[in-house]
Amino acid sequence: MGNTGNIKAKMKKAKKQERKIRLIPPILLFSLYPLLFGGVKVRAFLQKYAWFPSGEMQYDFFMYVKSRAFLVLAIWMMLILADRILLQRRKLTEWKRFAPLCIYAALAMISATLSVNRQLSFTGMWEHYEHVWVLLGYMAAAIYCANIVEEREDIELLAMALCTGAFLQSLIGVGQIVGMNLLESGIGKTMLTMGLDASAKEGLVFQFGAGSRNCVYMTLYNPNYVGVYTILLLPVTITMMFCMKKIWQRIMAGTTSGLLLICLFGSGSRTGMAVGIVLIGMGGWLVSGIYMIQRRIATGALEKSKRWLRIKQWSVAAAGIIALLAAILVYDIAEDGAVRKTIRQSLRKVEAYHLEELYAGEHGVYMTYCGAEFRIEARQADGIWLPAVYRLTDGSEQPVELKWKEAFGWYRIPGEEFRRIGLMVYENDGQIFLYVDCQKISWYFVKDRQTDTYTYVTQYGKSDEIVDAPAVLQGREKILSGRGYIWGRTIPLLPKYLLWGSGPDTFVLAFPQRDYRMHANTGVRASREIVSKAHNMYLQTAVQTGMLSLLCLLVFWIIYIRESIMIYRRSERAGKCGGLRSGIFLGVIGYLLMGMLNDSVVAVAPVFWGMLGIGIAINRQTYH
């Protein structure tokens, strides 16, 4: 009997050890993966396009390394799953629920195969690297975490991994706020440019560096991604404060929650603040409800106090919302009304833009500005090239006498409404260039001496055509920091990509990049940027892998949300992991809400999919 007991104890210990080994990939994914960075010189595969720089090689400091590391973790997870299925003869847990993901994976592969650019779809777009293999890796992470999480100890261990990763990230973020940015330090720059030529370190410029108020970007590359990350992790760390067993774990969770909130405000993510209000309310309602229900179950007083329970729940939710609104008000005052300005801008519609038309053609450049139509050309007088302007009226042309502006070194069209237009002509390498400065945005056109035809030249010195793209949301291009412009040009693309899309990581090619005029009307900064993402996870998916693939993802997410709500409604079955389940559920909800104004990115999405898998596992354990 003694030997039998020893054997059983050894088998139990071996099984526990095996379970811990299986948890290593998600532990690394949650704790260390988001911290990865490093400079790599990569091929962009876009240099042939007029709207992209000419250099074949570009530097990438965050996304390339993360995508490669994630693929290693995803392959590791798939090998363990294969071992469980093929050698241990264990079936996938509730594999039917993953059918929408399997269909999505198949559609993503078809989309990559039929892509407008297979190179991008299979190897990744510069500074994105969310190619088809990464998309399949997301599915693997969700399925893996849903199957290997079996005990409460597993859930708590992975929750601590999430908390550890968030704590380390928030330390970097707080350092960026106070001007002690790890990445801008000598050590950080050395780590970023390790293996690159010396010019890479010397020319390294941090767009969101010190001196910028919204300077928190952690190691996630962009403040917007910080907003998504903090909203994803905050509900987990906050609920850990109440449901972890050990005091040091609760203290760490509370500290991390406070640091994450500071980083959220420091990132300037107004979307994150808005979603945070929703989550605080939902979280206060859910977590307080679970806590009070568990107490009443223990005392047998549940049925007698349900009404009082609901009052307390709503009170806690309201208190949380009021506290966060107060914090946002303080932030708004400190930032000179930045939040109010954003809200006003989002509600404002532009009835007509000053620059109504601009294109190059025969005998000149044609422009309509403030309702006035002009033809602008380069003319030679006494051996000097000068701009000439003709106003188009009733089919006739009337010459305009230009005024010389010494301060700027260009000519100007008379009239107060045209004060923001400057004209200049110059010769370079035998070519005649007509320069138009309109609302602080530079436009260059080259004249063909033989045919007297003008051609637009992009900021990268390449010839192209200015094309007005089909659009919706007209007049609202500037809302939500220019997202109205991007969405308004993306939505008309959807009918074209119903089945399999343009291909993973090819949004930059699907988007009408030659819509230069309206891009410029959105703002000076916007006119200099390449639109490489939809700033909406759902539009991004619909365009790149097709509307049908988006439907599959929505079905999968809705199944999880519905299941979680049903479990909560059966409050007596909340289980020991009710608090953590609520935290993960709220994190998933927050991520999906943030996806309405942000993209899926390889810096954050793997953590989301792994968390979603844990949420599914907890729901399964609650049911069974």
Q: What are phi and psi of 41, to 5 degrees?
A: -95, 120
Q: Is the pLDDT of residue 316 over 80?
A: no
Contact (Cβ atoms closer than 8 angstroms) between residue 231 and residue 73: no
Which H/E stretch holds residue 453? none
Per residue in 397-447, pLDDT (tens digit) is 899 999 988 777 889 999 999 999 999 999 888 899 999 999 889 999 999
Pairing of strands 40-43, 57-60: antiparallel
Report whether pLDDT(313) > 60: no
**The tokens of 334 are what?**
């400190």
pLDDT band at 212 (very low <50, low <70, confident <90, very high): very low
Closest CA to 603 of 186, 230, 273: 230
Tens digits of residue pLDDT in 256-277: 999 999 999 888 887 777 777 6
Distance of CA 38 to the CA centre of its chain: 20
Over residues 355-382, the mean pLDDT reads: 92
pLDDT band at 14 (very low <50, low <70, confident <90, very high): low
The pair of three-digit structure tokens given for residue 391, joined into one six-digit string: 């106003």
Read off the DSSP letter of residue 127. T
Q: Which residues pair with 392 in a beta bridge?
A: 397
Q: Please state, as a whole number, how many other Cβ atoms lie within 10 Å of the Cβ of residue 512.
A: 18
Please write the tens of the pLDDT for every residue from 444-471.
999 998 899 999 999 999 999 999 999 9
| Residue in this structure with the two tokens 């999480």, named with its chain if needed | 149
Q: What is the pLDDT of residues 559-599, one digit of tens each?
A: 999 998 888 766 544 455 667 888 899 999 999 999 999 99
Query: Tens digits of per-residue pLDDT, 120-177?
Result: 999 999 889 999 999 999 999 999 999 988 888 889 999 999 999 999 999 999 999 9
Mean pLDDT of 194-211: 67
Q: What local confidence, expressed as pLDDT, does residue 616 receive? A: 93
Percent of the chain with pLDDT over 90: 52
346 pLDDT more than 70 = no
Q: What is the pTM of this model?
A: 0.88
Please name which of 522, 534, 540, 528 lies closest in space to residue 475, comparing C-alpha atoms.
Answer: 522
Helix/strand/coil (H/E/C) assignment for every residue in 31-100: HCHHHCCCCEEEECCCCCCCCCCCCCEEEECCHHHHHHHHHHHHHHHHHHHHHHHHHCCCCCCCHHHHHH
Using an 8 Å Cβ cutoff, are 439 and 524 in contact?
Answer: yes
Backbone φ and ψ of 194, nearest 5°: -60, 125
Amino acid at 534: A
- The answer to whether residue 531 scores a pLDDT higher than 70 is yes
Phi, psi of 102 (to 5 degrees): -65, -40
Within a 10 A sphere around the Cβ of 505, how many other Cβ atoms? Answer: 30
Report yes or no: 232 and 611 within 8 Å, Cβ to Cβ.
yes
Is residue 303's pLDDT more than 60?
A: no
The identity of residue 502, as a single letter, is S
Computed over every residue of the chain, the mean pLDDT equals 85
- Give CA separation, 420 vs 223, 369, 387, 542, 613, in Å: 32, 10, 16, 39, 55
Check residue 211 and give its pLDDT. Answer: 46
Residue 294 has pLDDT above 60, yes or no: no
